């Protein structure tokens, strides 16, 4: 769907990299290797995004590191379009509504790092989750978005331990339950 609107593959990869997970940071050579694109193609798109105010950059040593400008008026719109394009909104909607005591849903794996993948990896944090029903929902969501979904269930306590051992940019909070008022 989005490929019809954004014909530059490099531009689409950059949008995914920086706007799916707003904590993602990267520099030119890293992006070149990750995307399998020429440095010139990546540099041109980075410059366009930076000139438009969509990306900010800082120097870390001799590297120019880019990050999404979350204060840009279009940031949330682009972020939401990417979530819809990748099918993440549908997955979260299906999973959280009927499973039991789900507290949070986190994106992990390549998509959390801003890289495209055939797999969407989710961490479900909660207790008393109906695993049989979860498997049915996972299969249904997989067929809806044509990507394989991998789900890991964790208790809140286990998640705290896991989270302390990984980089902040390797996971991304998609949804959290709001306490009843």
pLDDT per position in the chain (181 positions), as tens? Answer: 555 566 678 888 888 888 887 888 889 998 898 888 888 999 999 999 999 999 999 999 999 999 999 999 999 999 888 877 777 766 676 666 667 788 898 989 888 887 778 888 999 998 888 888 888 888 877 776 777 889 999 999 999 999 999 888 789 888 888 665 4
d(CA 17, CA 49): 13
- Model confidence pTM above 0.95: no
d(CA 145, CA 92): 12
Q: Provide the pLDDT for residue 181.
A: 44
Which residues, 6+ apart, have CB-to-CB distance to 44 below 8 Å? none
Q: Provide the pLDDT for residue 22.
A: 80
H or E element at residue 51:
helix 39-51
d(CA 147, CA 85): 12
Give the count of alpha carbons within 13 A of 102, CB side only.
25
Structure-token match 């998609």, residue found:
174
User: 129 by DSSP, 3-state: which?
Assistant: coil
Structure-token match 């880019």, residue found:
66
């Amino acid at each position: 769907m989005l490929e019809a609107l954004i014909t530059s593959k490099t531009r689409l990869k950059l949008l995914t990299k920086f706007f799916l997970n707003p904590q993602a940071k990267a520099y030119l050579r890293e992006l070149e290797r990750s995307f399998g694109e020429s440095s010139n193609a990546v540099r041109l798109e980075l410059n366009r995004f930076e000139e438009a105010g969509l990306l900010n950059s800082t120097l870390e040593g001799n590297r120019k590191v880019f990050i999404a400008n979350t204060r840009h008026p279009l940031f949330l719109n682009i972020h939401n379009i990417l979530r819809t394009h990748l099918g993440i909104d549908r997955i979260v909607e299906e999973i959280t509504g009927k499973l039991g005591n789900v507290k949070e849903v986190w994106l992990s794996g390549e998509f959390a790092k801003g890289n495209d993948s055939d797999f969407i990896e989710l961490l479900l944090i909660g207790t008393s989750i109906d695993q049989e029903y979860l498997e049915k929902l996972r299969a249904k969501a997989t067929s809806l978005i044509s990507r394989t979904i991998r789900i890991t269930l964790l208790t809140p306590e286990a998640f705290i331990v896991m989270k302390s051992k990984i980089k902040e940019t390797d996971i991304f909070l998609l949804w959290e339950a709001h306490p009843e008022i």
